[in-house]
Structure 1
Amino acid sequence: MPENTLVETPRTSDCFARARVLPTVAILAALYGLAHLAGYHINAVVLTIVCMIALCLLRIPVAIALITAAMLGALHAGLSMGDAIAAFNDNLLIGAQVGLTYVMVGAFAVALSRSGLLELLAGAISARLGTDEQATGKGVKWTLFGLFIFASLISQNLVPVHIAFIPILIPPLLGVLNRLKIDRRAVACILACSISASYLLLPTGFGAIFLNEILLANINSVGEAQGLTATAAMAPQAMFLPVMGLVAGLLVAVFITYRRPRQYAEPPADAPVVCHPPAPRLKPTQLLITVAALAVALTFQLKFDSLLIGAMVGFLILGASGIFRWQEQDDVFTDGLRMMAQIAVIITIASGFAGVLTATGEIDAVVKASAELIGDNMALGAAVMLLVGLFITIGFGDSFASVPILAPIYVPLALTLGFDPLAVMALLGASAALGDAGSPASTITLGATAGLNADGQHDHIRDSVIPTFLHCNIGMLVFAWIAAMVL
C-alpha cells in the first residue's frame, strides 16, 4: 500500500465527524443571527424541524436532537422554558402508549426466539439447500426470494419479531447465495420492500401499531377541529397504492437493476466459517405450544384491538409452558425491552416534539404560507409534502416516529388544499414511511446489513442504504403521489 494513502480508521472518521459539528452549528447560528438582524421572522415550526434534521445529520442521538430542537423552537416562539417543557410533557402520553406496546412486542419476539422456532426454520432450509452442490438452478434462486419475501411479511404481523429473523435466517444461506451468484443488493431490496409493505398495509402486529395506533390516532387528533374523522377501515385502502410502489421497486430491483450475476469471494481458509446452524430438537409439544401462543396472541389482538394485550398473553403462554425457564422471564422481558427501547423512546419523544410544535401557535402560519405558495395546484402540493416527508424521515430513519411530527402540519395543509380524507391519510402515511427503508439509521437497513454482511462482503451504505433508498422510496413516492391524485 502506498505510504501516502489515507486509511480512514474509526478514530479518524470520528475526528472528522466531531470536526463537522462546531462549524455546522456556527453556520446555523450565524444565519439565524443575520435573519434576526435583517428583520426576517423565522417561523418557529420551520426552525424546529430544520434544527432537528441538522442535528440528526450530525449524528447527534435522535432523542437528544428531538428534545433540543423542540426547546429551541419553543424559545424562539416566545415560550418560556417552563411552558416549553410543559407542552412537551403534556403530549408524551400518546407516544408512551405506543412505546409500551413496542416493549411488549419486543418481549414476545425474544420469547419466540428462545423457542427455537426461527432456528428450526433456518436450519432446515440451509441444510436442504446448502448440502446440495447441484442446487444452482433458477428454481432455487426463486425459492430463496420467495422465502425472503414470506419471512419478511410474517415478521411484521403473524410472527411479530421485526428484523430479528434476518441475522438468524440469512447468514447460513450466504454460501448458497454465493454459489448462485445472487446479487445481495437484490436481497436487501427484497427484505426492505417486503418488511415496509407488510406493516404499511396489513393491520395486525406492527401494522396495527402503525396504521391504527399512530397514523389513525394522529389524523383524528389533528383533524378533529376541522371535521375530519377517519376509520380503521380507511387505512389499508389509503396505503394500498403507496405499497404498490414498494412492490414495483422490488420487481425493478430483482428483474432489472440487480438481475445480473455477481461474484463474491470465497472466504479465506483461516476465516471463520458461516456454518449451518443445527436445527434444535423441539419436542412436538413445544412446537404446538409455540404455534398456539402465536394463534392466541393474534386472536386477542383482533378481538380486543390491542397488540399490547395480544403480545402479553403470548408471552405468558410461552413462559408458563416451559419454552424458557420460569426464572428467566425477567431476563427475556429485559432483552425485549433492550431490543425495542430505542424505537419506543423515539416514538414517545416524537409525540412531545409534536406537542411543542402545536404550542408555538405557528403551525397555522406554515399551513397558510404553504397553501398560498402552492395555490390551487394539488399535484405540486402532494409532491412537496412527500419530498419533505422523505427528507425528514431519512434523518433519523423511523417512519413510526415521523407521523406525530408531520401530522400537525400535513393534515391541515392537505385539507386546505382540498384533498379528500383517504388522500390525506395516504399523504401522511407515505410521507412518514418514505426514507425508513433507505436511511442509514433505519432498523430495516441495519438488519439487512447484519445478515448479508456476516462474511464481510456487504457494505452498509453502498449495498444496503443506496439500493433500498432508490428502489423503495422512488417507487413509493411515485405511487403515493398518484394515490393523492385519485383518492
Structure 2
Amino acid sequence: MNAVVVAVLLMLVLSLLRVNIIIALMIGALAGGLTGGLGLGETVKAFTDGLGGNATVAVSYALLGAFAAALTKTGLPDAMVEASVKLIGKKEDSRKKALSKVLIVLIILIISCFSQNVVPVHIAFIPVLIPPLLKIFNELEMDRRLIACVMTFGLTAPYIVLPVGFGQIFQGMLRDNMASAGLKVPLSDIPYALIIPTAGMAVGLILAVIVFRKPKKYETKEIAGLSSSPYTKKSIAIALISIGVSLAVQLYLSQVLGVEGMIMGALAGLFTLFISGVMKRNEADKLITDGMILMAFIGFVMLVAAGFSNVLNKTGDVASLVKASTGLIGNSQSLGALLMLVVGLLITMGIGSSFATVPVITTIFVPLCAQLGFSPMATIAVIGAAAAVGDAGSPASDSTLGPTSGLSADGQHHHIWDTCVPTFIFYNIPLVIFGWIAALVL
C-alpha cells in the first residue's frame, strides 16, 4: 500500500468519525510513516522536524486573534452588528431579510476574492471580520456552511484563474515547473486553460447556495475575547486606522520586500490601538491572551498538518504514487486525465497546499501528458486542476481552516462536517469533473 493513500484515507476517515483533527493527523502521519518504511523513530523525527513548517501561519493566527479581540475595545464589532440590524429591519419583513442575506453573502464573497489579488492578505481578514458577524448570521438564520463555501471559493478560485496577487505566484510556479519538465508555455496561456476548471467551482458555488439557502438556527453565545464595548465616532475611526495600518504593513512586507507580513501586520495594528489609548495597559495582557485563545486551535492544526506533510514527503511515496498512476493509464487520454486529477486530489488533501503540490506532480505529469498526446493547453488544465483540486476540501488547508477559524468562534461550527465536507462536495468534485472535461476538449 502507498503511504500517502494510507495516511490520507486514515486521516479523513477518523476526521469524519469526529475524532479531533489534530489526533487524526497524528495517527495518519504515524500510519503513513510506518507504511512507507520509515520505522517508528524516523516517523516521529520527521513529524517533529516538520512541525515548524507552518509556524509562521500559526503565530499569525494567534496575533490576528489578539488584534480582533483588541478591536472590540473600540466598539467596532458592536457598530457592525448595529449597522447590520438596521439593514435587516423588522424580523417579520421576510423580503428585506432575504435581501439582507444576499447582500451579506455578496460582500463576504467579494472580500474573500479581493483577499487573493486586490488586497492580497489571504486569510488575515477572517478573524477580524467574521466573529463579530456571527450574531447577525444567527439573527438571519443563515446556514454557516454556506458562508464557509463562499469564503473557500473566494480563497481558491481567484488564484487558479486570475494572474494577479496569489494567482501570479501560482501560475508562475506552473509555468516554471512545466518548463523544467520540458514544456515551455506562455504565462498568458495559463488563465485561459484554467477557465473551464474554475467554472466547475462556480457551478459548485451556485449549488451550495441552493442547498444551504434554507434557514438554520444557532444559539447566540458570548464569544470569549469579543465582549461588547460602547463606541464613538473617534473609537471607530481609531479602529479603522489600526486596520489600515495593519494592512499597509502586511502589504509592504509581502509585496515590496517579499517576506511574510501577517505577523508584523497584526503587531502593527495592536501597537496602533495601544498608543491610541483604546487598549489600556492594564487590559492589554488579558485581551491579547483571550484573542490568542480564540485562534489557538487553528494554529495547532496548522502546526500538526506541517508535521503530517513532512512525514509523507520523507517516505518518498508522494512521487511513487504519481509514477504508479502512469502504469495504469495505457494510451487512454480519458483515463489518464481522470487518474492524474485523482492523484492530485490525494496529494493535495494530504499536503494541504496546492502551491506545494505543483512541483511534486509536474515532473511526471508533463511527459505523461505529452505521451498521451495532450495539447499544451490541455496539459496546463490537467496539471493546474490536479494541483488545486484538494485545496478546497483538505482539513489541513488554510482555505478551509481560515473559514472555520471565524465561523467556529462560538463553538457551533465543526471544521470537518461544516467546512471540509461541504467544500469537498461542491468544489473538489466539480474541479475533477471540469478539469477532466478541459483536458479532453482543449
Task: Flag whether TM exceeds 0.5 (same fold).
Answer: yes
Q: What is the one-letter code of the residue matched to 2:148?
A: A
- Report SS of the residue matched to 2:231: coil
Q: What is the one-letter code of the residue matched to 2:133?
A: L
Q: Residue 285 in 1 paired to residue 220 in 2?
A: no
Cα distance in 1 for residues equivalent to 2:300 and 2:184: 28
Report the counterpart of residue 365 of structure 2 in structure 1: 414
Report the counterpart of residue 374 of structure 2 in structure 1: none
Report the counterpart of residue 80 of structure 2 in structure 1: 121
Cα distance in 2 for residues equivalent to 1:224 and 1:107: 43
Report the counterpart of residue 148 of structure 1 in structure 2: 105
Q: CA deviation at 1:289?
A: 1.9
Percent identity of the aligned residues?
30
Cα distance in 2 for residues equivalent to 1:231 and 1:317: 44
Cα distance in 2 for residues equivalent to 1:212 and 1:344: 27
5 Å-filtered alignment, 1:64-463, equals 64-131=23-90, 135-137=93-95, 141-151=98-108, 153-154=110-111, 157=115, 160-162=124-126, 165-166=129-130, 168-172=132-136, 184=142, 188-189=145-146, 191-201=147-157, 242-254=197-209, 281-305=230-254, 306-377=261-332, 379-384=334-339, 386-387=341-342, 401=352, 403=354, 410-418=361-369, 420=379, 424-434=383-393, 444=403
Q: CA deviation at 1:459?
A: 11
Cα distance in 2 for residues equivalent to 1:381 and 1:150: 40
Contact 1:119–1:168 (CA under 8 A) maintained in structure 2: yes
CA distance change for structure 1 residues 257 and 202 in 2, over 3 Å: closer, same or farther? Answer: closer
**How big is the alpha-carbon RMSD for the aligned residues of Structure 1 and Structure 2?**
5.0
Q: CA deviation at 1:370?
A: 0.6
Residues 80-134 of structure 1: per-residue CA shift (max 9 Å, x gap) = 433333333343333223322332333333333443323212212213433475x
Q: What is the one-letter code of the residue matched to 1:294?
A: I
Q: CA deviation at 1:314?
A: 1.7
Q: Residue 43 in 1 paired to residue 2 in 2?
A: yes
Larger radius of gyration: 1
Report the counterpart of residue 19 of structure 1 in structure 2: none
Moved more, 224-233 or 475-484: 224-233
Q: CA deviation at 1:165?
A: 4.7
- Report SS of the residue matched to 1:250: helix
Cα distance in 2 for residues equivalent to 1:83 and 1:149: 48
Q: What is the one-letter code of the residue matched to 1:312?
A: L
Cα distance in 1 for residues equivalent to 2:70 and 2:191: 29
- Report SS of the residue matched to 2:19: coil
Q: What is the one-letter code of the residue matched to 2:98?
A: K
Cα distance in 2 for residues equivalent to 1:340 and 1:330: 16
Q: What is the one-letter code of the residue matched to 1:169?
A: L
Q: What is the one-letter code of the residue matched to 1:322?
A: G
Q: What is the one-letter code of the residue matched to 1:299?
A: A
Contact 1:346–1:401 (CA under 8 A) maintained in structure 2: no
Cα distance in 2 for residues equivalent to 1:327 and 1:376: 70
Report the counterpart of residue 258 of structure 2 in structure 1: none
- Report SS of the residue matched to 2:313: helix
Cα distance in 2 for residues equivalent to 1:129 and 1:474: 35
How many aligned positions are there? 411
Q: What is the one-letter code of the residue matched to 2:44?
A: I
Contact 2:89–2:97 (CA under 8 A) maintained in structure 1: no
Contact 1:193–1:250 (CA under 8 A) maintained in structure 2: yes
Q: CA deviation at 1:443?
A: 6.7
Contact 1:96–1:348 (CA under 8 A) maintained in structure 2: yes
Q: CA deviation at 1:146?
A: 1.7
Residues 349-382 of structure 1: per-residue CA shift (max 9 Å, x gap) = 2222222223223333322211111345455444
- Report SS of the residue matched to 1:433: coil
Q: CA deviation at 1:431?
A: 1.9
- Report SS of the residue matched to 2:390: helix
CA distance change for structure 1 residues 249 and 410 in 2, over 3 Å: closer, same or farther? Answer: same
Gaps of 5+ in 1: 1-41, 178-183
CA distance change for structure 1 residues 161 and 52 in 2, over 3 Å: closer, same or farther? Answer: same
Contact 1:166–1:451 (CA under 8 A) maintained in structure 2: no
Contact 1:434–1:476 (CA under 8 A) maintained in structure 2: no
Moved more, 82-91 or 236-245: 236-245
Q: What is the one-letter code of the residue matched to 1:330?
A: D
Cα distance in 2 for residues equivalent to 1:258 and 1:81: 44
Cα distance in 1 for residues equivalent to 2:40 and 2:177: 25
CA distance change for structure 1 residues 229 and 63 in 2, over 3 Å: closer, same or farther? Answer: farther
CA distance change for structure 1 residues 108 and 430 in 2, over 3 Å: closer, same or farther? Answer: farther
Q: CA deviation at 1:404?
A: 8.3
Report the TM-score when normalising by structure 1.
0.65
Q: What is the one-letter code of the residue matched to 1:372?
A: G
Cα distance in 2 for residues equivalent to 1:217 and 1:64: 35
Contact 1:220–1:230 (CA under 8 A) maintained in structure 2: yes
